Homo-oligomer: A and B are copies of this chain.
Amino acid sequence: MSFGFGKEFRVTVFGESHGPCVGVVVEGCPSGLKIDLEDIQRELDRRKPAGELATPRREADRVRVLSGLFNGHTDGGPLSMIVENEDVDSSWYEKNRYLPRPGHADYPAYIKYCGMNDYRGGGFFSGRMTAALVMGGGVAKKLLASAHVEVTARLVQVGRMKLPREGEGQTTGAAPPSDPAAEKLVEREILEAARDGDSVGGIVECTVLNLPAGVGEPYFDSIESMIAHAVFSIPGVKAIEFGAGFGLASMRGSEANDEFLIRGGVVETRTNNSGGILGGLSTGMPVVFRVGIKPTPSIRKAQKSVDLRAMEEATIVINGRHDPCIAVRAVPVVEAVAAICIADLMIRDGKIVRRQGRR
């Protein structure tokens, strides 16, 4: 373990793909925060598979609160929520339990848990667990909104299709105007892979707006450390970069450094190659990072595997249900974990202490 993250604002996830439910316990949310469950539901709905581009497994994913809300407000205690698993079919997994799927956790999990873990649909390694992160992140986003901090993510790459990123034609952190032509191309990229019995990866960019300067900590609780830690808990994530990221390697210092200026009485930087973070602390500029997500490992094409009981090589053909591009559904999940990190750091920094009540 650990299935929990955060010091003062903490989420703990539980559940399995084919068990009764997936859930989250949120500790440390200040009391008195108004939570409209429809807001949490909207986040879950953004994550839900939909249309031709998604898994045929269909879950209602209705959020159910088990504790922590009282008269529509957080009550200061642990806030726990679940979504139930309804559309479960374990037959494929029962037949193939000794054949680890390439790109999945099956093989190392079999070793680590000595074959005792729930192998159906990936068990607790399933992408379905991200519903728990989204519920926890939904609470964090409400809390951040009360401090005017906004977290938004979007796709900037799907397979070979690249979409505009932060800093390309705009530096405000606002989402670029939707471009139907580009969306069409993205859709085609995914469908093409799907028709080949294959899948594609992608890159998600996330922006945190209105974070005041000086939030975060040096060293092990730097904004980068915290966000990277949380982001790598999302299944399929294999890379992260802040600001100009890997591009900084080939820059000169004079090009990479963000020079300071005063705008409207406030210290800002002309560029934002640092992604709004220096020394682990926020600079007051938008926090910007990109997350690289691998192609869905479940594909219809035949792959080489190994029969772990017989210890002999074998071929695996996956008939389980899956999305051809998990990056699409990762967008609200990246937002969620970023919101959780920022909420935790702001609370720890004394920047959020809302408890105001009905007294």
Q: Which of A1, A193, A280 has the most CB of B within 10 A?
A: A1
Q: Which of A19, A82, A226 has the most CB of B within 10 A?
A: A19
- Least CB separation from A350: chain B residue: B353
The contact string, 1 if C-beta is below 8 Å from chain B, for chain A 3-39, is 1110110101111100111110101100110000000
Whether A358 pairs with B229 at a CB distance below 8 angstroms is no
- Least CB separation from A202: chain B residue: B249
Asked if A207 is at the interface (CB within 8 A of a chain B CB), the reply is no
Asked if A331 is at the interface (CB within 8 A of a chain B CB), the reply is no
Asked if A230 is at the interface (CB within 8 A of a chain B CB), the reply is yes
For residue A125, which residues in chain B have a CB less than 8 angstroms away from its CB?
Answer: 218, 279
Asked if A43 is at the interface (CB within 8 A of a chain B CB), the reply is no
Our pick among B2, B7, B258, B265 for the contact of A217 (Cβ within 8 Å) is B2
Whether B115 pairs with A270 at a CB distance below 8 angstroms is no
Asked if A95 is at the interface (CB within 8 A of a chain B CB), the reply is no
Whether B239 pairs with A198 at a CB distance below 8 angstroms is no
- Residues of A within 8 Å of B, CB-based: how many? 159
Our pick among B25, B262, B267, B273 for the contact of A14 (Cβ within 8 Å) is B25
Asked if A152 is at the interface (CB within 8 A of a chain B CB), the reply is no
For residue A114, which residues in chain B have a CB less than 8 angstroms away from its CB?
Answer: 31-32, 355-359
For residue A255, which residues in chain B have a CB less than 8 angstroms away from its CB?
Answer: 295
Whether A118 pairs with B75 at a CB distance below 8 angstroms is yes
Our pick among B193, B257, B306 for the contact of A299 (Cβ within 8 Å) is B257
Whether B16 pairs with A77 at a CB distance below 8 angstroms is yes
For residue A14, which residues in chain B have a CB less than 8 angstroms away from its CB?
Answer: 25, 66-68, 77-80
Whether A262 pairs with B311 at a CB distance below 8 angstroms is yes
Whether A78 pairs with B357 at a CB distance below 8 angstroms is no
Asked if A200 is at the interface (CB within 8 A of a chain B CB), the reply is yes
Q: How far is the CB of A1 from chain B (nearest CB, A)?
A: 4
Whether B304 pairs with A270 at a CB distance below 8 angstroms is yes
Q: How far is the CB of A155 from chain B (nearest CB, A)?
A: 10
For residue A103, which residues in chain B have a CB less than 8 angstroms away from its CB?
Answer: 253, 256-258, 274, 278
Please report which residues of chain A, range 286-305, place their CB below 8 angstroms from some CB of chain B when the two chains form the complex.
Answer: 292-299, 301, 303-305
Q: A22-B67, A108-B214, A256-B297 are in contact. List 10 more A-B contacts (CB 8 A).
A: A1-B8, A2-B221, A14-B67, A103-B257, A103-B274, A103-B278, A112-B215, A239-B240, A262-B312, A273-B294
The contact sample of 18 A-B pairs, CB cut-off 8 A, is A2-B219, A15-B66, A15-B67, A15-B78, A16-B67, A32-B113, A77-B117, A77-B118, A105-B218, A107-B260, A108-B213, A108-B278, A108-B283, A109-B279, A112-B213, A200-B251, A220-B230, A238-B242
